[in-house]
Amino acid sequence: MTAETITADASGTFELGDLPVHRIGFGAMRLTGSAAFHLGTVSDRARSIAVLRRAVELGVNHIDTAAFYFSSLRSANELINIALAPYADDLVIATKVGPFRDYSGEWGTSARPDQLRGHVEENLRQLGRDHLDLVYLRRMGQDSIAEHFGALAELREAGLVRHLGISAIQRRHLTEALEIAPVVSVQNRYALDVPDPQADELLRMCGERGIAFVPYFAVAGEGAERGAAGSRDDDEVIAVARAHGVSPAQIRTAWTLHQGPHVLAIPGTGNPDHLTENVAAAALRLSQEELERLNALHARAV
């Protein structure tokens, strides 16, 4: 089996509420350019569209996006609409609200609860849909998310949103949200070599409750918005990658998927070759000894 023939099915499946998805998905942020948001080189439109269509051909049925993923010339949501509409019945598109940017690309303050309906409607418009499969509330430093999450719960009751998730949270926010409405997914920063004292406990809590845990910047590591090219790989990661004849980025994705059956990966890229590698990582099986070495690296980081 070659990388070109491996599909997302190799990663297994998990249900976001009642929506089954392959555990290897696709993050749309980098479709708009070489770095996050309006930074870096603007992407080639035709290539971004081709990447999206190839992702679906490779079995990806979970795409993570947001209305605030745009550069000076590109919008991730509108690229998704152009490339994939009419959407396949099994395609799950997750988006997020909370942060927002004006048309010049400048960041505004966190959205007020009464503004969230407008943000959901903007995602609907850009994606060309009558409802959203999954909407995350991206916490913007609030001590309590109850009012914001309650506003999204009302939109769920109104039929604009099918399922709810929360992002960039602490453990207490998950408990707070669950008292208001069901949570099907938590999206937090989590990576092999990035310290986050909250992350391991959140991952465990989600597993106990049947909630998906979806790390962001899992491949980028320390590079974050700069992408994987901005990160430095530890000798342990490089050694395991060489043993498998794959890239360090693929090992990072494989390690992420090994953290539990409820853990989903959403590596993003605007490069067709990197897309193939990302999906192929779903088939990597790390040995117990390799996992112990990488887990020890993670423990040292934390």
Active site amino acids? 69
DSSP state of 73: S
CA distance 292 to 205: 22
Q: Which long-range contacts (CB under 8 A, 24 or more apart) does 139-145 make?
A: 139/98, 139/166, 139/167, 139/168, 139/169, 139/173, 140/98, 140/99, 140/109, 140/110, 140/168, 141/110, 142/110, 144/176, 145/169, 145/173, 145/176, 145/177
- Cα gap 43→40, rounded to integer Å: 9
Contact 185, 134 (CB under 8 A): yes
Give CA–CA dist 10/122, Å, rounded.
34
Give CA–CA dist 31/268, Å, rounded. 8
